[in-house]
Amino acid sequence: MTAIVIDKKKYVLIPEKDFQALQKKAALKTKPEKLFTIEEARAHSKKMIRKWAAEKS
């Protein structure tokens, strides 16, 4: 790990392998987006279409 300063900002350089390991660890901590059931998706789609149509009128 190497620290460098550019324009009074401190940056840290790490090997790519370590960086990828950190990215993977961070990705595992994020929660996946909620998936709709088919019924919920249809209801949501209809709601969005009605909203769009109301804006067009």
SS (H, E, C) 1-57: CEEEEECCEEEEECCHHHHHHHHHHHHHHCCCCCCCCHHHHHHHHHHHHHHHHHHHC
Reported as a single tens digit per residue, the pLDDT across 34-48 is 899 999 999 999 999
Reported as a single tens digit per residue, the pLDDT across 8-18 is 999 999 999 99
Residue 21 has pLDDT above 90, yes or no: yes
| CA-to-CA dists, residue 57 to 9, 17, 19, 49, angstroms | 52, 55, 51, 12
Residue 25 has pLDDT above 80, yes or no: yes
Question: Mean pLDDT over all residues of the chain?
Answer: 92
